Amino acid sequence: TGYALEKKVVKSKVGEKVGLPCCHEIPSSESLHNYRVYWQKNITKVVLAYAEGKKIAKHNRYENRTEMDTRNLTLWISPVEIPDNGPYQCVVQHRRFSQNSVVCDELVTLFVTAEFSKPNVTAEVSAHSCESTEMVVRCSSHGGFPKPKISGTLNNASVVWNASWVSESSLSPYNVTGELWLNVTKDSSITCTIEYNGLAKSTSLLLKKINDCVVPTAPPSYNVITASSIIIIIFLLAITLAARYVSRHGKYSFLFQE
């Protein structure tokens, strides 16, 4: 794998030992004394250099962290650090007739990965009603490299985080935070995923809708009140009429008896 100019790509994690292959291997019939070897970073910074079998240059940042195989010229770096990320160049020259002819000159790219923490997902209720619960959901992860992508799903449907990244420089660990404002109408599952250099870490959280609202007892409607009033009035009228009827008929019957 790699690019048109950068034919070789090597991946490594922070703290590991990694070997960057060179474009030439010294045959068994010769020795390092017949060669000049330059390992450079970003083309200009000399990491390690050998001439006539002796080390002639080294970079302070790689002090006690680099060594070169004297046969296949592999550059070993241990332990790997985030700033080691980037393109390296192996330049090999041969001392033929006192002239340093270039045997090979090739780039190899080192991709460094630092592990991110497991995403931390939290939810804070901002408001709620009988129909829904408003929440602020946050997802955070820290200490990783390179700059990650943050993605998520709500009940298996994709969501887009309002994301922010913090890093001291392009070759420093990253902290990432994502924020979502959600209107939850039922219990739901939110998942946050951090992706970096082909790796991924995920965390899920159950968002519970608040169901503590009390539905008030509805007052009787106007029609019910009206109907009840009419029934009561009719009932009272009926009693009044019946009383009058009994009163009159009772009086007359008494007179007839006399």
3-class secondary structure, 241: helix
Task: Specify the DSSP class assigned to residue 233.
Answer: H
* Share above pLDDT 70 across residues of the chain, in percent, rounded to a whole number: 82
Whether the per-residue pLDDT at 257 is higher than 50: the answer is no
Comma-separated ranges of CATH 2.60.40.10 domains in the chain = 8-113, 117-207
* pLDDT one-digit tens code per residue, 156-183: 999 999 999 999 999 999 999 999 999 9
Mean of pLDDT values over 85-100 = 86
Topology classification of domain 117-207: Immunoglobulin-like (2.60.40)
Q: Which CATH number applies to 8-113?
A: 2.60.40.10
Please tell me whether the overall predicted TM-score, pTM, comes out greater than 0.75 for this model: no
Which pLDDT score, from 0 to 100, does residue 258 have?
42
Angle at 148 between CA 85 and CA 180, to 5 degrees: 165
Give the number of other Cβ atoms within 10 Å of residue 142's Cβ: 15
Mean pLDDT, the chain, integer? 86
- Could you read off the pLDDT of 197-230 as tens digits, one per residue? 889 999 999 999 888 666 555 565 656 567 667 7
Buried b / exposed e over 222-251, threshold 16 CB at 10 Å, is: eeeeeeeeeeeeeeeeeeeeeeeeeeeeee
Mean pLDDT score, 241-253: 59
